[in-house]
Structure 1
Amino acid sequence: MKTKCPKCKGIGSVVADYKECDACGGTGYEDDLFDMGSHFKGVNSKARDKFDLDSGQDVPCEVCNGKGQVEVFEECSYCHGTGQINVCRDCGKLLPGEMDLCDDCKDKRKVEKMKHDEFEARQNAVRDVYVLDSLCQMRDIDKDRLYKGTITRIEKYGAFISLNNNVWGLMRGNVSKYKVGEEIIVFIVAIKSREGKIDFAPAFVEKYRLKRLTKSLPRTLISKLEEKKGSIVRIDGEVQQIQQTSGPTIFIINDESGTTEIAAFDKAGERSYPEIELGDAVQVIGEVNEHGGKTQIESSSMTKLGEENTRKLHKLIDDALNKKAEPQHVDFLVKSDVLNRLKPKMREAAQKIRRAILDGRTILLRHHNDADGICSGVAMEKAIVPLIEKENPSNDAQYYYFKRSPSKAPFYELEDVVKDLSFALEDQERHGQKLPLIVLLDNGSTEEDIVALMQAKIYDIEIVVIDHHSPGELLTKDERDGEIYGATVAVDEYVDCHVNPYLVGGDSQLTAGALATEVAHLINPNVKELIKHLPAVAALGDRAESGEVYQYLELANQKGFTKEHLSKIAECVDFEAYFLRFMNGRGIMDTILAVDNLDKHEKMIDALYKEYQKRIDTQLKAALPNIKRTQLSNGIYFNMIDVEKYAHKFTFPAPGKTCGFVHDHVIKELGEDKPIVTLGHGPDFGVFRATDAVNEEFGFNVNDIVSVMIERVPSAGIDGGGHECAGSIKYIEGLGDEVLYKVVEEIQSLTKK
């Protein structure tokens, strides 16, 4: 910084010496000029005025001011004649060149800037301010934190601040601007004793976020809560469900060891901890009590875990639940190469279902509404529901976490998926439930299922399929020793686990009821004795014949069920299912299938079977005289009946069943070894039944017939399918005659292999 030179006072030169004044000759006075001319007389007069002299006084020399000598100047060596010097802006120290600050002042400024920046950063930073929960005590606080408290009393010497009912202290000084009840942010000046003597000071922070400080407690696993009744505990877990009651809010929490209920109450019917959402990892502190016979925690605090702790907890829970969900290694109920090749997929299906139970997800079972499908659903139900009740503390857990619904069609229809998604999303919104695991039994494998499966997958819903319908063309195959051990089909893109005998070289003779029962046995081995006769019922209901079927019949016989009685059970299941329609008929079907209410089973079968036979006899009396019979040129015995005109409507048996009974009657007349095809049709549908002989000799397959008709009559809006020898076709009513004509042509064109 430039400033005036202190040596020369900004002149640029200094006095180096003195010499005699040339003007006065060293006398210091001017000569007397009064006798001289008028000009000089005037000058002398001015000099007297200047020095304020009387006429008799001598006049000092104006050059040396009466000193008799004058200064001799030389260039100032300090500023080199410039009159200015460069000094430090802060301390004034002489600096070379054009520098503004000396090194010491530069360093000092850097330190001051860092302090200023730190101060600014602290002023602008969002600070954490802690709110103590009701259980926190002196040992839980930290001197380096900010706290939010409430002023409870004001005295002349200061204000008393309460952080909670257990922790309080004094804020000293002038507190006249504060009032009782006011909330204030403070920091701890001193902790004078662990008995509660704390000095506070106000913390002036503009930006802050509140954090709840919970009592420092060791973590307790949910499985250990029974041992902690009456104690204050801390659990870390994941929120599975949130239920708002007319009183408290109920949170269902799980950790790696189990599940429990957390009751939180602020006001009756008001949501507690609204910041806590489904799936959050939380820390809960509260007292362990019992409610309705179940262990429950009355929450004192509930806070979300931090990001790192959340990640660790989720991994801990995920690893533990995956291990717990792994099914036991149990043998199949029967010996079967197909089952052995399917075993990895069946274990995967069992693992996914067990994991969903542990995750607190609803298991939504969909099954075909016939004997095979219902046996599948009931077998699964008997395995799953006990596990749900074991894992969930709620008394009505099975109603929250399990639903079984029949499907009219042998595939997952749009009507079904719309209902399922609607209820699932509504349960998520109203009851805080997770989206379900959908398990499709005796349906889900065919192309007709794809649209519904795609819609479910939009919501990332996990889907397990256990079916025995032909899935169509195999996309990939894993063949070893001439056997297929694994294959993929079109629906596999939309399902998470697909169990189907066709994928390992099997066929539909291994029924869905058998597959589902085996998977149920893997899920819960304890139900083996209860359900082991169900595959035999399913096989007889689906007219299946295979080595596995004979073994299942033997298993059922060991329980005291004859083949004749099992057939009656299957027929009564179909009969009752017609009237139940879209209801699962849980109690009634349990009685018919002899898995519950065993004392009523015989009476129920007797009553239903008599009515079943009566209605079939009535239907056949109307239908049999109106069968159109012919033997086609290729040797196939073809039978056709208009079930819309020559059968009773809106009663049992339905058109498909009527066609089946007509087909059975023809077989009795001609023999099972004959190639027989029966077609029952209405205005916009057809139902096929065929003997194994026509399939084996001519390659008859309902799915192939439907595919050919889609190509030959594209304007008829055809769809349908089913098993090789039993299925249906749908079409537009106005083109019904053309479709039926071409169906007959296609069957007639079949040739022997």
Structure 2
Amino acid sequence: MHRSDGMMLGEGQEIEITGIIMRSQMIRGQSIATITNGNETYKVIGKEPLANGIAKVSGILGESEGETVLYANSVETIFGDLAKNECKKIAEGAGKTIPIMDIEPLVTDEIMNALKPKIAEAARKILTARKLGRFILLRFHGDADGVSGAMALTKLCRMYAIQQNSAVYSVKDAMKDLAQIHYETMPLVIILDFGSSDESAEGIQLLKASGAEVLVIDHHPCGEKIKKNSDLFVSPWIVDDAQNAEHETFGPEPKTLNAKQKTGDPSQYPAGYLAVEVARAGGLNNENYEVEPLSRISCAGDKSGIMKIDEKDKERALVLDYMASYSGFGNNLDFYENIMKKPELFQSMLLQAKEKIEQIYESVGKTAKITEESGIKIVSIDLEKLAKKHEFPSKGKIATRVFESTQHECSNTGKPLVVIGYGGGSVVFRVNEDAVARGIEANRIIEQIKESMPDFAETGGGHAKAASVRVRDGFEQNVAKEAVEIIKRLVGSKSIS
């Protein structure tokens, strides 16, 4: 048997290794486990129980059932900060030997070129966790963007995947995850397509305090706390200019830039697409799995224009949204993938999804109120009677359908448009490009709502063109009216109609 430094290890040789104990079990009165320090890995056999964790094991190499094993003479379990430091050192050492693919992103522009180092680091963290046998928990947002990204990451390595139907990683979510990872050694928790806002800070802090490593992949506008709380934050909103010094000069030291200082809209780089790039950097490609189509589904689901999509991509995204509305399938992501491969069932779901959207849209006219404020067309919709909880279409989908129809009318004239849907404990916003150009941004409206109505607005966020906020039941219409007043202030209107 050889060590990584090339030295031969032979039967009867006494060795000592400090590493991560995993897959520990008792068989016929013997404790059997695996220990790795990131470079060497041994099967360990001992008389005393070997608990999962960090330990220093001394023993003699021998043979059992045709393989080299380490017969443990002594086991010293390491706890506390020493264990955390040792685990971090092991992970760093193991990560250095993992090859990462240096490939062009599917979208080649300034933002994606700047994100390449973080994408490579994310791939390295995931592959390092796989190499060390660490537990990986993936929480993905329950829509086409989140599902497609989760499908890509879970093809890179085995993960326990949980669907998340909220944009906030709450303390309640953290408590559920802590119960899952409590006995794991330095687990890796991946939060995909949500969790960037400061409202997720407390939940993520609990993960960090438990000893978990936290990786966040998201494309929503981020708060300051996420950059401090996560071990790695992959986001188009925060990019490093070190890779783009030829375009912008900010002095000799690398600086972190808001992506708005670069080209393009950061929100247009969906988290599912970013996850695909992480998977590609980790070695996943169209030869071992059709990964690139997932990026197009992600873009279709989030109405992103960063890459060319066709009608089939839109249909796949719609079916994923339809399925996700009814489900929280745990780690059974294969169910989503299998539906996409069954033409008859896929077409049935697609037809149902389209019919449900159109049925709801036909009823919208009875509740919609159209006004104009300072040249801004505002469509307000009472969603209380239209959207059913945990069913398709969601409040956001209904607002999007109304927006797309009204936008078709506004696009010819260049009229700014804002759609506000309220009901069922939330208020959702859809904003067109012309409104954004005049300073009307959905996430900005929500931030001002939180300031002006702190007793009614709870959690929320999103993009400049699409966002939502949870509000106290019964006060949705009040918040919607306040949003109209905020729009007036944002465009400088002095009149209140």
Distance 1:509 1:531, change over 3 A: same
What is the CA–CA distance in structure 1 between the aligned matches of 2:89 and 2:433, rounded to whole Å?
54
Q: State percent identity of aligned pairs.
A: 27
Seen in structure 2, the aligned counterparts of structure 1 residues 359 and 645 have a Cα distance that, compared at 3 Å, is same
Tell me the amino acid that sits aligned with residue 416 of structure 1.
D
Alignment partner of 1:356 is 2:109: no
Q: 1:275 to 1:670 in 2, by over 3 A?
A: closer
Q: How does 1:388-427 map to 2 (within 5 A)?
A: 402-425=159-182
Q: Which amino acid aligns with 1:658?
A: I
Helix, strand or coil for the counterpart of 1:303? strand
Please report how far the alpha carbon of residue 333 of structure 1 lies from its aligned counterpart in structure 2 after TM superposition. Answer: 2.8
Local SS of the residue matching 1:715: coil
Alignment of 1:154-193 (within 5 A): none
Could you tell me how far apart the structure 2 residues matched to 1:645 and 1:305 are?
Answer: 63
Q: Partner of 1:716 in structure 2?
A: 456
Closer, same or farther in 2 for the Cα pair 1:260/1:622, shift >3 Å? farther
One-letter code aligned to 2:276: T
User: Please, which moves more after superposition, 531-540 or 663-672?
Assistant: 663-672
Report the equivalent of 1:304. Answer: 75
From the superposition, tell whether residues 284 and 565 of structure 1 become closer, same or farther in structure 2 (CA, over 3 Å). farther
C-alpha distance in 2 between matches for 1:354 and 1:417: 24
Name the structure 1 match of 2:313.
Answer: 566
The alpha-carbon deviation at position 319 of structure 1 amounts to: 6.6
Query: Are 1:495 and 2:230 counterparts?
Result: yes
Q: What is the number of equivalent residue pairs in this alignment? A: 459
Which one has more relative contact order, counting CA pairs under 8 Å at least 6 apart? 2
Structure 1 equivalent of residue 53 of structure 2 = 278
1:460 corresponds, among 211, 216, 241, to 211
**Is residue 44–residue 71 contact of structure 2 (8 Å, CA) maintained in 1?**
no
Where does the alignment leave 5 or more consecutive residues of structure 1 unmatched?
Answer: 1-218, 265-271, 386-401, 473-488, 554-562, 594-599
Q: Whole-Å Cα distance in 2 between the matches of residues 612 and 306 of structure 1? A: 55
List per-residue Cα deviations over 1:361-395 (Å, max 9, x = no partner).
2121122111111111111111123xxxxxxxxxx
| Equivalent residues of 2:98, 2:124 under 8 A apart | yes
Q: Counterparts of 2:338 and 2:486 in 1: how far apart (Å)?
A: 44
Q: Which amino acid aligns with 1:510?
A: Y
CA contact (8 A) 2:375 2:415 kept: no
Q: Distance in 1 between matches of 2:192 and 2:451?
A: 30
Q: Equivalent residue for 2:145?
A: 372
Q: Indicate if the aligned counterparts of 2:143 and 2:320 stay in contact, CA closer than 8 A.
A: yes
Structure 2 CA distance for partners of 1:651 and 1:222, relative to 1, 3 Å: same
Question: What is the CA distance between 1:408 and its match in structure 2?
Answer: 0.7
Residue 470 of structure 1 deviates from its aligned partner by 0.9
Cross-structure match for 2:32 = 250
Listed one character per residue, the Cα deviations across residues 310-341 of structure 1 (whole Å, up to 9, x for unaligned) are 9xx99996675132135233332332211111
- Asked if the contact 1:684/1:731 (under 8 Å) is kept, the reply is yes
**1:740 paired residue number:** 480
Instruction: Tell me whether 1:521 sits opposite 2:280 in the alignment.
Output: yes
Q: Report 1:164-243 matches (<5 A).
A: 221=3, 236-237=16-17, 238-243=19-24
Q: Could you tell me how far apart the structure 2 residues matched to 1:371 and 1:671 are?
A: 26
Closer, same or farther in 2 for the Cα pair 1:220/1:282, shift >3 Å? Answer: farther
- Report the Cα distance in structure 2 between the residues aligned to 1:684 and 1:343, rounded to whole angstroms: 39
Contact 2:216 2:232 in 1 (8 A): yes
* TM-score normalised to structure 1 length: 0.56
Mapping for residues 409-558 of structure 1, pairs under 5 Å: 409-425=166-182, 428=183, 433-472=184-223, 489-504=224-239, 505=259, 507-526=266-285, 530-546=290-306, 549-550=307-308, 553=309
Structure 1 residues 297, 577: closer, same or farther in 2, change over 3 A?
farther
1:640 paired with 2:408, answer no
1:671 Cα deviation from its structure 2 partner: 3.6
Rounded to whole Å, the distance in 2 between the matches of 1:646 and 1:624 is 11
- Sort the Cα spacing of 1:664 and 1:490 in 2 relative to 1 into closer, same or farther, 3 A: same
Q: Which runs of 5+ in 2 are unaligned?
A: 240-258, 261-265
How far apart, in 1, do the equivalents of 2:169 and 2:101 lie?
30
Q: Larger deviation: 711-720 or 376-385?
A: 711-720
Distance 1:500 1:282 in 2: 41
Structure 2 partner of 1:576: 323
Amino acid of the residue matched to residue 278 of structure 1? G
**What residue is the counterpart of 1:389 in the other structure?**
none
After superposition, the CA RMSD in angstroms is: 3.3
CA-to-aligned-CA distance 1:709-750 (integer Å, 9 cap, x gap): 222223224331111111111222354443222111112333
Query: Does 2:102 match 1:329?
Result: yes
How far apart in 2 are the matches of 1:314 and 1:723? 37
2-structure distance, mates of 1:220, 1:235: 13
The one-letter code sitting in structure 1 at the alignment partner of 2:58 is Q
Letter matched to residue 472 of structure 2: I
Contact kept in structure 2, 1:537 and 1:566, CA below 8 Å: yes
Cα 1:747/1:337, change in 2 over 3 Å: same
Distance in 1 (alpha carbons) for counterparts of 2:208 and 2:316 = 37
Q: Distance in 1 between matches of 2:286 and 2:14?
A: 36
The answer as to whether partners of 2:45 and 2:71 remain within 8 angstroms in 1 is: no
- Give the letter for the 1:419 counterpart: K
Output aligned runs, 1:651-662, within 5 Å. Answer: 651-662=391-402
Matched letter for residue 233 of structure 2: H
Change (3 A) 1:572 1:288: farther
| Change in 2 beyond 3 A, CA 1:274/1:462 | same
Instruction: Tell me the CA shift for residue 661 of structure 1.
Output: 2.0
Structure 2 residue identity aligned to 1:304: V
Displacement of 1:281 after TM fit?
Answer: 2.2
Residue 252 of structure 2 is matched in structure 1 by none
Change (3 A) 1:414 1:582: farther
User: Counterparts of 1:276 and 1:651 in 2: how far apart (Å)?
Assistant: 45
Structure-2 change in CA distance of 1:649 and 1:332 (3 Å): closer
Q: Distance in 2 between matches of 1:256 and 1:463?
A: 20
Q: How does 1:617-628 map to 2 (within 5 A)?
A: 617-628=358-369
What code does the residue aligned with 1:262 have? V
Shift of 1:538: 0.5
- AA partner of residue 21 (structure 2): Q
Structure-2-length-normalised TM-score: 0.82
Deviation at 1:644, TM superposition (A): 1.3
1:675 matched to 2:425? no
Q: 2:405 maps to what in 1?
A: 665
Partner secondary structure for residue 385 of structure 2: coil
1:243-287 CA deviation, whole Å, 9 max, x = no partner?
3356453312114445454355xxxxxxx4247662112134364
Letter in 1 for 2:234: V
Q: Is the 8 A contact 1:287 1:298 kept in 2?
A: yes
Distance 1:591 1:538, change over 3 A: same
Provide Cα deviations, 1:442-490, integer angstroms capped at 9, x if missing partner: 1232212212112212223211111111115xxxxxxxxxxxxxxxx33
Partner AA of 1:665 in structure 2: S
Q: Which residue of 1 aligns with 2:335?
A: 588
Aligned counterparts of 1:318 and 1:742: Cα–Cα separation in 2: 50
- Structure 1: distance between partners of 2:77 and 2:168: 45
**Partner SS, residue 463 of structure 1:** strand
CA 683–363 in structure 1, closer or farther in 2 if over 3 Å, else same: closer
* In 2, Cα distance between equivalents of 1:287 and 1:535: 49
Separation (CA, whole Å) in 2 of partners of 1:653 and 1:573: 12
- CA gap of 1:614–1:233, structure 2 versus 1, over 3 A, is farther
